[in-house]
Chains A and B, each alone.
Chain A
């Protein structure tokens, strides 16, 4: 697989001696955080700049890929399946090896930081899959979101419950028992608990009904209105670009088109290839 003999299980699937439930899949670029540098000059609030890299020792998935977002904005990444949208998000979060390029947050080069330290720096991330603690209650999920906070976070929890009232109702229920839409709300709520300075969402509307999707989009806009920059991957390209201040079309790990949401929606090339005419 990756050429590492320790990662070879020789087909053993015996769950009485091995437990693969919830095992980690991330291959962080750095096990220990390196130094950060102040960067001079004008730069977006969060930017993954000219990122090239892939998983482990595998081939490059991203090629000179750039994504960025500014305060008060929603930036949307769209593109076909397997284009590397999730991979780009992970790269920005330090969850995979970026061979060249850099990630900057708020005028600071954070390329050398571990994912954990990026959380501390104010980045919140909702992964595409396995984005809640299924065996824990809704409230415990939110508490874990606030794990790095040492101050009183009950206010933030109230804000999350205000944003997603259904979660307050289900606060003592295991998150794994909730419906798809409610799970996504838990996932976003968990990420909001750190009071992040930037929020990254990977397909927050995956697998939910159109009505729930509209509802989720409304909530996301509500969050963005508070000034929190949101970087989001979306399958529903048309709808997402409509609310996007900035849009990126990714194809095979490269930036194919970049522009404001409206520009992309109006671009005949983009319409033809990605928006179904």
Chain B
């Protein structure tokens, strides 16, 4: 019974949140890895692209809520999501036309693109704050829980409750769908294969009649979709704040690099590794420990390795360890 309680507490406070957070990071990291593979630079504007997509989705959600449109027990934001994606696609294509394309024509070195993306990041950052403000926005509505802690306790008779939020359920289901679709697209469709070909060997892709501008356009469309979905899922699960999204860049990049930059599977694995590390290291283990350990050994403190304020240190530390000992990441990416 004690062990069961410990397990439930662990699942409730570590397992479920980490899986949801890991899925969000994975979708974010997939976007970063795609830009890295196809456009050949690390897109520092990715966090702010997520913020922009989420902002548009929130605005449309408010519009729907005002008009009395709802999605039953599911959050209205899911209805607004396609609009958010569409507008974000427009923004990234606009950015590509007005900014990145120039540098492509100059055959600029990747590091120049990285710096350019920093500029784009500041622009998008400013745009989002200008439109929706720097503050915190909550936009989750509908049913809050799939299973609430109280119901769980009643059902099982355990002391510990297991709560699964709707947003967490949606996150995992969406992540599975998105990842399956993306892999199908990249491996089975003509356009997806042409993206891989372009990433593998640009010159030969050109000699095969693959149009680079097309490949770049499809990449941005997919990246906009992934960024918006990741951003909205994160926002539903926690809340939306432009600065938080900017900060998400670190765990997202850590995920992509830990998994192996340029490897989609790596991005997913990396997302979960970072999420689990972050949550386990910043979780106060007192409760679980009390159940598992004999009474005499019960801990006095919180048994928390690191305060949640320092959660970014976790991504950072893992990032450095990986770069020191296995720079290509777990799934042999392209970084050396």
Contact = CB atoms under 8 A, between A and B. Distances in A.
A194 B199 contact: no
Given A130-B203, A143-B193, A147-B209, A7 B108 contact: yes
Interface in A1-45: 4, 6-10, 12, 14-28, 31
B207 interface: yes
A97 to B, nearest CB: 14
A134 B334 contact: no
Contacts of A8: 109
Interface residues of A, number: 45
A-B residue pairs, 9 tightest by C-beta: A18-B110, A24-B202, A148-B209, A6-B108, A9-B109, A15-B335, A6-B106, A17-B42, A19-B40
Contacts of B37: 19
A227 B69 CA distance: 68
B200 A22 contact: yes
Contacts of A260: none
B305 interface: no
B257 interface: yes
B200 A136 contact: yes
B193 A140 contact: yes
A133 B197 contact: yes
Given A19-B262, A23-B40, A116-B211, A4 B106 contact: yes
A132 interface: yes
Interface string B249-262: 00001000100011
Contacts of B207: 93, 115, 119, 125, 127
Contacts of A136: 193, 196-197, 200
Contacts of B206: 24, 26, 28, 115-116
Contacts of B212: 24
Interface of B: 36-37, 40-42, 103, 105-114, 190, 193-194, 196-197, 199-212, 253, 257, 261-262, 323, 327, 334-336
Contacts of B209: 116, 119-120, 147-148, 194
B262 A7 contact: no
B295 to A, nearest CB: 49
A190 interface: yes
A145 interface: yes
Contacts of A19: 36-37, 40-41, 110, 261-262, 334-335
B111 A144 contact: no
Interface of A: 4, 6-10, 12, 14-28, 31, 93, 115-116, 119-120, 125, 127, 130-136, 140, 143-145, 147-148, 190, 194
Given A16-B42, A136-B193, A145-B208, A22 B199 contact: yes
A277 B40 CA distance: 49
B317 to A, nearest CB: 16
Given A15-B336, A148-B208, A135 B202 contact: no
Nearest to A20: B110
Contact of B202 (A22, A116, A120): A22
Nearest to B37: A19
A133 B335 CA distance: 19
A125 B207 CA distance: 7
A120 B210 CA distance: 11
A14 B210 CA distance: 28
Contacts of B108: 6-7
B208 A20 contact: no
A9 B108 CA distance: 9
A115 to B, nearest CB: 6
A187 to B, nearest CB: 9
Contacts of B205: 133, 144
Nearest to A17: B42
Given A147-B194, A147-B210, A22 B42 contact: no
Contact of A144 (B36, B40, B210): B210
Contacts of A120: 209
B203 A24 contact: yes
A135 B112 CA distance: 26
Nearest to B108: A6
Contact of B208 (A14, A25, A119, A134): A119
Contacts of B40: 18-21, 23
Contacts of B103: 6
B35 to A, nearest CB: 9
Contact of A147 (B200, B208, B334): B208
A18 B42 contact: yes
A17 B202 contact: no
Given A6-B107, A7-B107, A9-B109, 14 more contacts: A6-B103, A7-B106, A9-B111, A9-B112, A15-B327, A16-B335, A19-B41, A19-B110, A23-B202, A24-B202, A120-B209, A130-B201, A136-B197, A144-B205
Contact of A133 (B110, B201, B257): B201
